[in-house]
């Protein structure tokens, strides 16, 4: 009969084996997603890119995190976005705002209920895991590859419109706000972004950033700064691949070590 210490050690060992197996499955799953993204070209519509990040028309909650782990790929943008409170994928702007309602005193304008605008992906973070007073918000807009310059330039306008709407209704509920536009970037679009005072950031592809002041009250000229990222599809894909490659290489080395010891 096993004593208590031996039993504890056995349970601990089995737990480690189970955790290692789940982690291995997750790393390999991420690699499969990246390989699917590599096959995306101008023939694919933006829905196909969108669904690889987060399935369209879905709402994900932190309370269901583990069940959504193999469908939610917010890590493609950055692993920090996996610490979300709520993710809304192509949901009406009115629904996005409702998720920012923190007290019974907050409300959403009736006119907004009829608004059919749908941000591609919205990620909401709690300011505090224990006491929600303010939230951080990330809005992502995805564009089909191969669009003309005018259509690509629309992404920055869309992002500013989303910012105005969010800050108009809940200026005191949002602590920080970031916007991402995933779009083809060629030399022609680079010139357009540089003319608009975007700065290029380090990346495996092309990423531009700008801090934009959003006017929430025209009479009082209240301006709130927000962060705007415009990144190429290549940057979106390659940066995610590089981040995942660290885990993938460790896994490969572990498997090689296991094979050598057999």
**Mean pLDDT taken over the chain:** 80
pLDDT in tens, 100-148: 654 434 444 444 444 456 788 888 886 544 455 677 889 899 988 888 9
pLDDT in tens, 209-255: 999 888 777 776 667 788 999 999 999 999 999 988 888 887 777 66
Residue 102 has a pLDDT of: 42
Q: Which residue has the higher pLDDT, 11 or 203?
A: 203
* Domain count of the fold of the chain: 1
- Domain containing 222: what range? 4-261
Evaluated on CA atoms 213, 122, 81, 156, the torsion sign reads negative
State both tokens at 19.
């955790």
List, in order, residues 6 or more apart from 22 with CB less than 8 Å away. Answer: none
Residue 171 has a pLDDT of: 65
**pTM of the predicted model as reported, rounded to 2 decimal places:** 0.79
Summarize the confidence of residues 158-169 as an average pLDDT. 79
């Amino acid at each position: 009969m096993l004593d208590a210490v031996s039993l504890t050690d056995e349970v601990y060992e089995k737990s480690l084996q189970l955790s290692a197996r789940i982690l291995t499955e997750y790393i390999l799953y991420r690699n499969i997603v990246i390989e699917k993204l590599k096959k995306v070209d101008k023939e694919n519509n933006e829905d196909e890119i969108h669904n690889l990040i987060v399935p369209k028309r879905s709402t994900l909650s932190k309370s269901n995190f583990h069940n959504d782990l193999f469908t939610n790929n917010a890590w493609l943008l950055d692993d920090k976005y996996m610490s979300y409170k709520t993710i809304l994928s192509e949901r009406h702007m009115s629904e996005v705002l409702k998720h920012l309602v923190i007290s019974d005193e907050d409300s959403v304008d009736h006119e907004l209920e009829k608004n059919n605008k749908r941000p591609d992906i919205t990620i909401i973070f709690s300011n505090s895991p224990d006491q929600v007073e303010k939230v951080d918000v990330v809005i992502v807009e995805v564009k089909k590859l191969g669009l003309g310059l005018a259509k690509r330039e629309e992404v920055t306008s869309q992002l500013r419109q989303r910012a105005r709407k969010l800050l108009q209704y809940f200026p005191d509920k949002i602590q920080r706000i970031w916007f991402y536009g995933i779009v083809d970037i060629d030399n022609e679009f680079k010139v357009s972004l540089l003319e608009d005072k975007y700065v290029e950031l380090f990346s495996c592809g092309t990423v531009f950033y700008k801090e934009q002041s959003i006017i929430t009250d025209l009479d009082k000229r209240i301006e709130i700064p927000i962060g705007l990222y415009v990144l190429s599809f290549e940057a979106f894909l390659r940066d995610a691949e590089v981040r995942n490659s660290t885990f993938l290489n460790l896994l490969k080395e572990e498997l090689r070590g296991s094979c050598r010891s057999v």
